[in-house]
Amino acid sequence: MRTDRPRLMDIALLHYPVVNKRGETIGSAVTNLDLHDLARAGRTYGIDTCWIVTPYDEQRKLARRIISHWTDGYGGKVNPDRREALSILRICSDLDEVLAGCVARWGKRPRVLATCASPRPNTRSYETVREQVRRDEPHLLLFGTAWGLSPEVMAGVDATLPPLKGRGEYNHLSVRSAVAIILDRLLAER
Amino acid sequence: MRTDRPRLMDIALLHYPVVNKRGETIGSAVTNLDLHDLARAGRTYGIDTCWIVTPYDEQRKLARRIISHWTDGYGGKVNPDRREALSILRICSDLDEVLAGCVARWGKRPRVLATCASPRPNTRSYETVREQVRRDEPHLLLFGTAWGLSPEVMAGVDATLPPLKGRGEYNHLSVRSAVAIILDRLLAER
C-alpha cells in the first residue's frame, strides 16, 4: 500500500520522564487523540516510525488495543486511510528500546534531537536538520507530553530544535500541533 | 495581558455545512480538543479571533460552557495560559455571522480563503497570502471538520490555499494539525 520510501526519521512521544507545571518529574497518560494525530501527521510527512513511550504496562496494553482496532479490526475496514496512518505506531517502554529499534533498521544510532518550548543551548536550526535528513542521515525527534521532556532526557540528547516562534511571547502549543509544525518544517516538499 | 497587536486574520472552524466520506453534506459535533488546540495555536501565532461555527443551539451552549470554564471559571485560575488561549474563541451559528464580526472590527470584508486537502482551481500560494497578511490586508481562513468544507462553501470563497504536501500521495491530517501547519506557514516569525 505504501509506495514511497520512508525517511530515515522516527519520532517518539514520551509519557515518562516528563515534567508537570511545577517542574517535577511525572508520568502522563496516553491519550487516544495523540495516537491518531501523530500517526496521521507522521504518515503524511513520510516518517518511518512513531514511537509511543510509556513505562506503564496497562497504558501500553490500552494503546495497543486502540491501534489494533484500526490496523487489524473494524476501524481499518471502514477507514483504510486511518489504518495506514496507525500502522506507523510502535509502543514501547523506554527510550533505550526506541534507540535499539532505530539501530536495528538503520544500522547506526540516529542523531537524537529534543524539542522544547523554551530556548536552549546547543540548538540546531530547522534548515540544518532538513538538509541532514535529505542526505539520509538518520534522526530521532523526541517530544514530551505534559509540560515537556524532563531535564535528564534533555541532558542526554545530541541537540535541540529551536522553540517554535509564533508572534510575541506566547507559545503554548499542544504537542499535537508542535509535531505537525515541526514535521512540516523539516520534511514538507517544496 | 496581551501585549502584541493581533494580525488582521481570523480562522473559522465549520461544523456545518461539511461533507462526510461519501460527499454528503452533514453537520458534525463540536469536540473539546479542537477548541483547545485551535485556541492555543491561534494565540501562539497571533491571530485575532478563532470562530467555532455550528448551527446547533445545544452544541453552541456546550462549547460556551467549555470555554467559560477556562476564561471565567476554575480552569483559568489554575492555568492562565489556557485562559489566554481560549479567550480568542467565539461561538456563532453561520458564516454570515463570522463575516459580520470581521467587518465590525476591520471596517471591511476580509479576503475569504478555504483550506482543502485536494487540489483546486483558484489557489493562492502560502507566500502570497503571507505577504498580504504582513501588509495588514484582512483575511479569514475557513477550515472544515469531518471530510472537509461542502461544495457550496468552497464555491463562495475568494481563493483556496494549496493542499499541504508531505511526502508521497498520502495526506490525511487532522484539522488540528492542518490549522497548526497553515498558521506556521503564514504567520511564523522568520
The answer to whether the Cβ–Cβ distance between A166 and B82 falls below 8 Å is no
DSSP labels for A125-183?
-HHHHHHHHHTT--EEEEEESTT-B-HHHHHHSSEEEPPP--SSS-----HHHHHHHHH
Could you tell me if residue B3 is inside a domain? no
**Domain-embedded: residue A3:** no
Rounded Cα distance between B178 and A110, Å, is 28
Q: What is the pLDDT of residues A158-188, one digit of tens each?
A: 999 999 989 988 999 999 999 999 999 999 9
Domain count, chain B: 1
Which residues span the domain enclosing B52? 9-187
In order along its 190 residues, chain B shows pLDDT tens digits of 566 788 999 999 999 999 999 999 999 999 999 999 999 999 999 999 999 999 999 999 999 999 999 999 999 999 999 999 999 999 999 999 999 999 999 999 999 999 988 889 899 999 999 999 999 999 999 999 999 999 999 999 999 999 998 998 899 999 999 999 999 999 998 8
Determine, yes or no, domain membership for B2.
no
Residue A4 covered by a domain: no
- In DSSP terms, A11 is beta-bridged to A50, A141
Given the C-alpha cell 464555491, which residue does it identify?
A: B155
Yes or no, beta carbons of A176 and B177 under 8 Å apart:
yes
Q: Let me know: does A47 contact A7? Beta carbons within 8 Å.
A: yes
* CA-closest candidate to residue A47, choices A100, A89, A79, A16: A89
Nearest-by-CA chain A residue for B1: A170
- Could you tell me how many CB contacts below 8 A there are between chain A and chain B? 127
> Strands A159-161 and A111-115, how do they pair?
parallel
Give the list of residues 6+ apart from residue A157 with CB closer than 8 angstroms, or none. A112, A113, A114, A142
B47 belongs to a structural domain? yes
**A48, A118, A125, A177, best to mutate vs chain B, most B CBs in 10 Å:** A177
Chain A residues touching residue B45 (CB < 8 angstroms)? 166-167
Domain membership flag for residue A23: yes
Task: Give the CATH number of the domain where residue B114 resides.
Answer: 3.40.1280.10
Total residue count of chain B as it appears in this document: 190
In a domain, A2, yes or no: no
The reply to whether the predicted model has a pTM over 0.80 is yes
In a domain, B1, yes or no: no
Q: Strands B111-115 and B25-26, how do they pair?
A: unpaired
**CB B81 to CB A44 under 8 A?**
no
ipTM value, please give it: 0.96
Nearest Cα residue in chain B from A190: B165
